[in-house]
Amino acid sequence: MNTTNNRKFGKFLATNNTLSPKRPQLNPDKYYKLDYEKCIYSIVGKLINEYKHTACFEIVNWHQADGAILRNLGHRVIVRKQEAVEIE
């Protein structure tokens, strides 16, 4: 079913991510250490969505000093894939 031209759904409510890479580089089941420019300390996040050069993460662990910043961002940040380091 093509939802892009369906009047019921509209062209902006497509269910698939058209910006996703052909070969995903990040695993959604693992945690990543992120160096976000607005935060003072490193934060830990879990992958939500992956794009060509960037990725969106849900923040699961952070320093108390960065709590207000992350609360305003909804505990979700978008960073470049190069800045995400996998935690083992």
Query: What is the model's pLDDT at position 30?
Result: 94
Which residue, 63, 23, 16, 40, is CA-closest to 4? 16
Exposed/middle/buried for 85, CB within 10 Å: 0-12, 13-18, 19+?
A: exposed
Say how far residue 65 (Cα) sits from the centre of its chain: 21
Please report which helix (H) or strand (E) contains residue 61, including its range.
strand 54-61
Query: What is the model's pLDDT at position 5?
Result: 53
Query: What is the model's pLDDT at position 23?
Result: 80
Query: What is the model's pLDDT at position 16?
Result: 66
24-to-49, 56, 69 alpha-carbon distances in Å: 10, 13, 29
Per-residue confidence of the chain (88 residues) as pLDDT tens digits? 454 555 555 555 556 666 777 788 888 899 999 999 999 999 999 999 999 899 999 999 999 999 999 999 999 999 999 999 999 7
Query: What is the model's pLDDT at position 22?
Result: 74
C-beta separation of 72 from 85 below 8 A: no
> Quick check: helix, strand or coil at residue 29?
coil
